[in-house]
Chain A
Amino acid sequence: MPTSPADVAKAVKRLSPQADIQHVSSWQEGAYINAADDVLLEACWQERRALVSKDRATLPGWIALRVADNRPHGGVLFYDLERFKANQIGALAKAIVAALVATGGI
């Protein structure tokens, strides 16, 4: 059965109920569903949230620009397109939980 990126957040919550994770479509009532990366990074920083993304094309550049402007960010968790295909929600959720544990996020 197809799942969606929003299901990743649910899967992480099932694995680790204490994890405070939300999909961008529900976070702040979906206000950032169409936000540019730099806007989303700032919004995440305001709430001290890390961003989970597979987009390694543009986000690193936005992070570099923030660093150059001496603006911090809340951290970004990139996942590998080869390791995690679009429908591999469970494996991705496990990896996110492992990353949260490794970084003290939970």
Chain B
Amino acid sequence: MATKPISLRVAEEVKLDLEQIARRFGTSAATLGADFVTQGVRASKHPSVELRQTPIGRMAYIRGVRLPVWLALETLEDSQGNANKAARLLQLPVLLLKAALAYAQEFPEEIAADRAAGRQSAEELERLVPNHSFIRV
């Protein structure tokens, strides 16, 4: 993705906090600041979607529920593209589902990666979580 520089001014204490958080994340204040701006822009454009930190990285969820955007998309496909049916299945307002789909359309590669992660095989799960017994039914 191509990037462009911008210059902005923040309060001194904000700059200090940003630098401290960046050190914790093992990155630079500029990189983290750019990431925060990007998140803020996304949140403004897609207020019904929130980005949550997970063990596999940041993932888009529908705001207010435990439903990642990629799973909403799966349900829509299970419903042959019928948004009203999918929304009833998910017990979501259809407008919220459509907002999630708008996000998925804007960031298709991100959602495709999330979907791929959601289809981990049992063998992959066993590698990820050793010393566990997996029972298949």
Contacts and interface: CB of A to CB of B under 8 A. Distances in A.
Interface stretch (B30-38, B39-47, B73-81, B102-110): B73-81
Interface size class of A (residues with CB under 8 A): 35 or more
A33 B91 CA distance: 12
A67 interface: yes
A58 interface: yes
A70 B135 CA distance: 22
Interface in B80-137: 85-86, 88-91, 114, 117-120, 125, 128-132, 135, 137
Given A2-B85, A4-B89, A54-B71, A81 B55 contact: no
A33 B65 CA distance: 6
A57 B52 CA distance: 13
A48 interface: no
Interface string A1-12: 011111000000
Contacts of A62: 54-55
Interface of A: 2-6, 24-25, 32-37, 40, 54-58, 60-65, 67, 78, 81, 85-87, 95, 98-99, 102-103
Interface of B: 52, 54-56, 59, 64-66, 68, 70-71, 74-75, 78-79, 85-86, 88-91, 114, 117-120, 125, 128-132, 135, 137
